[in-house]
Every structure is written in structure tokens, then in C-alpha cells.
Structure 1
Amino acid sequence: MLQLDLQSRTPIYEQLITKMSEMISLGVLSSGEQLPSVRALARDLGVNPNTVQKAYQELERNGIIYSVSGKGSFIASGNSANEILKKQTVSKITEAVTEGKRTGLTKPQVIGVVELVYKEG
């Protein structure tokens, strides 16, 4: 289900957040669906349960999942999880464009990058 790159410089909990967010955006995980328990997912991935717990806490803090005491963690209902992910993505794009502008990228160069990304799929 989830594939992590243990050799990556990106922390494992961030990889988990990214992968789960992608799965929600693609509809692989749907609203109301229960996530594996922290211990089960940690065992399946071969990582420390604290790592999975940290990812779940961040996802919950961002409103992407919610927890029910004694029941587990679930994908947020409706389109709220997907809308939150879209807002976060817009924020990241805004930061990247602002940084590009600061470093001298022109608007046509930025648009060219966006067009290239969409062409590559």
C-alpha cells in the first residue's frame, strides 16, 4: 500500500504524510475510511510506531484525518480532506513562485515550468 524510501533525506513521517495525502487526493483512501492502527502500520512498514504516530498527529492537526477514542483514525468526511490538501498545495506553490521571483525568475519562466510539469503528467 505505502512505499517509503528509507534512503531519502526526507524524514519518514513526512513521507508518510505526503503518501497518505496523495492517496486521499487520488481517491484511494475515501472519507470515513479507517486507517490502520499506529502499531499495525509501523509493523507493516518496518518503522518505529512513534514515527507513524507523529504523521497521524500532523494529519489530524491539518484536518485531513480525525481520531475517535478507542476506535482509531479515519479520513475526514466529505471533501474537507481534499480541500485542505488543495489549500496546502496552493500555499506551497505560492511560496515557490515567491522564492523564484526573489531569485530573479521571470513570469514567463515560471509559466514555462508549470506548463512543463503538466505536459510530463
Structure 2
Amino acid sequence: MSDVKAVNIHIAPGDTRPIFKQIVDGIRMQIACGNLPVGAKLPSVRGLAMQLTINANTVAKAYTELTSQGLVEARQGLGLFVSQPRQQLNVEEQQKRLGDAVQAFVNDVAYLDFSAEQMIEKVSVALNQLATNKENETGNHD
């Protein structure tokens, strides 16, 4: 049986996203970075709720969302595990989501006093870090 993998996410009280969405986003990022590899067992609903000091129903809602997105799968009597990645979105939907994410980012940072070049640099650094984490996890160093 797999050991439960630690989920390193933090809930930000001032965040405009609901708590369950913060959990979903945090676990998605942990999976994308390779910190939660395929087959990793997630903490139980109660366990993660205790870790984050939040209501178990909130964690259950986040886990349901992650399951519906195909990122995790429930194994009867064993718990929740990170799924094998599979692309469920067609190219059109991927483009739409990318556009939505870019627009949300622009809306969030429009009032900040940064140049476009500074913001692009920050995004580039974050994407490079994500790629580096993935390479380190998989051992691929193209």
C-alpha cells in the first residue's frame, strides 16, 4: 500500500478564491510541478482538513472537483490517488482556457506599477521553474 504523500498547500485568508478552489489550485500545482507524482496517495479528507484547519466538507468538495477534472482517482477502500495525466480538452477549449487565464492575470496586475517587460519576465521565470521541477521529477533533461 502506498504511503500518503504530504500535500504542501496553504490557505490564504485574504484570497478572493473560495477555500475549496485554493485547495484545488494548490494540488493541481503540486501535480504539475511533480511534487505529487502519478500514483501518489493524497491525505484523507479528514486528514487534510485537520492539516489546513478547515471544514472536512470543504476538502471533500475540492477532492470531488479534482476527481471530476481527472487529476485524481478514488480507489475503493484505499483512498484518493494522483491519476495518469490525460488531456480531456480539445485544442479549442485549451486555447479558450489559456485566453481566460491570461485575461484574469492581466486584470489582477493591471493596477500594479510594473512594466509589461517586468511582468513577462516574472511569468517566464515561473514557467521555467515549473519546467525545471517537471524535469527533475521525471529525469528528462532534453
Compute the TM-score of the two structures, normalised by the length of structure 1.
0.72
Q: 1:41 aligns with which of 35, 48, 68?
A: 48
Q: What are the equivalent positions in structure 2 for 1:56-95 lying under 5 Å apart?
A: 56-77=63-84, 79-80=85-86, 83=87, 90-95=95-100
Distance 1:73 1:96, change over 3 A: closer
Distance 1:113 1:92 in 2: 23
Higher fraction of helix: 1
Distance 2:49 2:94 in 1: 27
**RCO (CA 8 Å, sep 6+): is it higher in 1 or 2?**
2
Unaligned runs of 5+ in 1: 100-110
- Shift of the alpha carbon at 1:91? 3.6
Between Structure 1 and Structure 2, how many residues are aligned? 106
Unaligned runs of 5+ in 2: 1-7, 105-115, 127-142
- Shift of the alpha carbon at 1:69? 1.7
Q: Match of 2:100, SS?
A: helix
Match for residue 18 of structure 1? 25
Q: Match of 1:29, SS?
A: coil
Compute the TM-score of the two structures, normalised by the length of structure 2.
0.62
Distance 1:114 1:47, change over 3 A: same
- Give % identity: 29
Amino acid across the alignment from 1:25: A
Alignment root-mean-square deviation, CA: 3.0
Distance 2:59 2:71 in 1: 15
